[in-house]
Structure 1
Amino acid sequence: MSNVRGAITIAGTDPSGGAGIQADLKTFQELEAFGMSVITSVVAQNTTGVRGMEHMPLSIIDHQLAAVLEDMPVHALKTGMIATTDMMKLVASRIQQAGVPYVMDPVMIAQSGDALMDEASRSALRETLLPLATVVTPNVPEAEAITGELVETEADMRKVAKIIVHEFGSKSVVVKGGHMEGEALDLFYDGEDFHTLVTPRFDTKHTHGTGCTFSAAITAELAKGKSLLEAVQTGKRFIALAIEHTLGIGHGQGPTNHWAYRHHQHKLEEIR
């Protein structure tokens, strides 16, 4: 039997390479998980914004999922942009079939501020996908959209984390504090205990695709058999380094550096 660990992303595209399916696959590769993908929507976007999108027919999404699940080693999966209610119902049924850890990145708003999901779809997301999630990774605006609560402090983050787990049914949650002031504090709640993950806040506008990349890193680590806390901690280190060592490309909010974590690990090995 092969010891290859596989991870699949079910999401929309980003032709500029910083977010969506493209960012997920880069992250899987960097963390040595075999990456696979199911495209839900083709999105015309770059670092300055979204130009347009076309959703895939349900039959094509289902055929993609069936083709992968029937043939390939899938040890964890994640969802990103799942734009419609019918898509969510379809994907939810396949997630249940897969029976592996599921990371949900509740993509509702692009980094540029463009809305990617209407209110009906947001409601369906709460009802269909959220209860299946092993871990869900909302930023502050997404956590507010999911719970209807205002998030301004760490105490607010703890409150919405409890709501997401105990009222909506996710096994665990990481509430990301990137939109708040001070250090970059993320809060992981596993249903019993809180864990704070803190890194310095870097002075850069180049944060396109951070949510995709962070959740993909968690997915890769879960595929490799890591615990939830270990996976989240590695995800936090991965995205912090990706933001710190910015590539500085694009005319808007540029992408993160997906190979920064690997370079950092190589330097640590040289020191040892």
Structure 2
Amino acid sequence: MNLSPPVILTIAGSDSGGGAGIQADIKAISATGGYACSVITALTAQNTCGVEAVSAVEPGFVRAQLDAVLYDMPVRAVKIGMLANQAIIREVAAVLARSPHLPVILDPVMVATSGDPLLDKHAMTALIEALIPRATVLTPNLPEAARLTGQPVPTSIEQMHALVPALRRLGCPYVMLKGGHLHHVPESVDVWISRDTCQTLSARRVETANTHGTGCSLSAAIASYYAQGMTPIEAGRAAKHYLTDALAHSQQLKVGRGAGPVHHFYAYPVEASQPDVKEASVE
């Protein structure tokens, strides 16, 4: 049987701990029915406890990866995560300009879950000018939205809604403002913003320390569902449902000493018993 799942390209940094970045994107895209290909923008030495070092990929090699994938693969949607610096942002924007109808889900990664900075301080202008207006869906968390708009970090749902006009002015047709940082709110509340409407997306709040890679996984799942034919808001709702369940099952994973990853493949349980493998004799 031949399978032809939709191809989703993720452009992001590598997480050596496997919980975020390219690794989380590939897991989320695969778990939600897509086929993931990738362009790596940076290498990170990190684990569940934090980021030890970051090495950005040479911008020309980022372009070479993009050219190779887009030449051969029938990419249906692009997810963008960590971009590291201004030069890489410009390269990615230049290549994507050749495919103006290709949907782009942009997660403006600036800081890791551990608090470590992941975006060069000189890259903000390039991100705002060159990539955000090109994106289809922008998925900032509250600190990222505050940096993008120059406003204080929201501390309530009302303050999230107050950011809507400034987020619209960034030029992206859809914004999913993630409210996961509002830990005092009993539900996980996001605000879905279009050019003329604003809707609240709510789900149960999962109390867990295993939140590593949540933003990466959400945006990758949106790209996957969008590539499968959902509308942007349908993809946003489906991705939020998927992430909620991945968080709810995260305690099943015993990985690392710090903030562990979500359980991307919770719907595909692994049997506890080992398969009966017969040893082959060697002559």
TM-score normalised by the chain length of structure 2: 0.89
Counterparts of 1:255 and 1:221, CA distance in 2:
21
Contact 1:206–1:248 (CA<8 Å) still a contact in 2? no
User: 1:74 is matched with which residue?
Assistant: 75
Counterparts of 2:177 and 2:254, CA distance in 1:
27
Residues 74-132 of structure 1 deviation map (CA, whole Å, 9 limit, x = unaligned): 00001100111111111011222233110000000000000112332122211111111
Letter in 2 for 1:206: N
Alignment of 1:181-196 (within 5 A): 181-182=184-185, 183-196=187-200
Counterparts of 1:162 and 1:232, CA distance in 2:
20
The correspondence for 1:198, drawn from 202, 207, 211, is 202
Q: What is the aligned length? A: 262
The correspondence for 1:117, drawn from 119, 133, 141, is 119
User: 1:12 is matched with which residue?
Assistant: 13
Letter in 2 for 1:100: L
- Local SS of the residue matching 1:129: helix
Larger radius of gyration: 2
Question: Structure 1 stretch 133-142 or stretch 93-102: which is displaced more?
Answer: 93-102
Letter in 1 for 2:266: A
Displacement over 6 Å in runs of 4+: none
Counterparts of 1:110 and 1:231, CA distance in 2:
24
Structure having the higher helix fraction is 1
Counterparts of 2:229 and 2:206, CA distance in 1:
31
**TM-aligned CA deviation for residue 261 of structure 1:** 4.9
Letter in 1 for 2:175: V
Letter in 2 for 1:16: G
User: 2:157 is matched with which residue?
Assistant: 154
User: 1:173 is matched with which residue?
Assistant: 175
- Local SS of the residue matching 1:100: coil
Counterparts of 2:58 and 2:24, CA distance in 1:
23
Letter in 2 for 1:119: K
Counterparts of 1:19 and 1:248, CA distance in 2:
16
The correspondence for 1:253, drawn from 251, 254, 259, is 259
- Local SS of the residue matching 1:257: coil
Residues 204-255 of structure 1 deviation map (CA, whole Å, 9 limit, x = unaligned): 1110000000000000011112100110001100111111111242100000
Contact 1:25–1:36 (CA<8 Å) still a contact in 2? yes
Identical-residue share of aligned pairs (%): 39
- State yes or no: 1:223 paired with 2:224: no
**TM-aligned CA deviation for residue 197 of structure 1:** 1.3
Contact 1:197–1:233 (CA<8 Å) still a contact in 2? yes
Counterparts of 2:205 and 2:140, CA distance in 1:
18
**TM-aligned CA deviation for residue 3 of structure 1:** 4.6
- Local SS of the residue matching 1:28: helix
Counterparts of 1:23 and 1:65, CA distance in 2:
19
User: 1:83 is matched with which residue?
Assistant: 84
Question: Structure 1 stretch 254-263 or stretch 86-95: which is displaced more?
Answer: 254-263
- Local SS of the residue matching 2:241: helix
Gaps of 5+ in 1: 264-272
Residues 139-168 of structure 1 deviation map (CA, whole Å, 9 limit, x = unaligned): 111111111112122222123233222x11
Letter in 2 for 1:251: R
Alignment of 1:136-155 (within 5 A): 136-150=138-152, 151-155=154-158
Letter in 1 for 2:255: I
Letter in 1 for 2:165: K
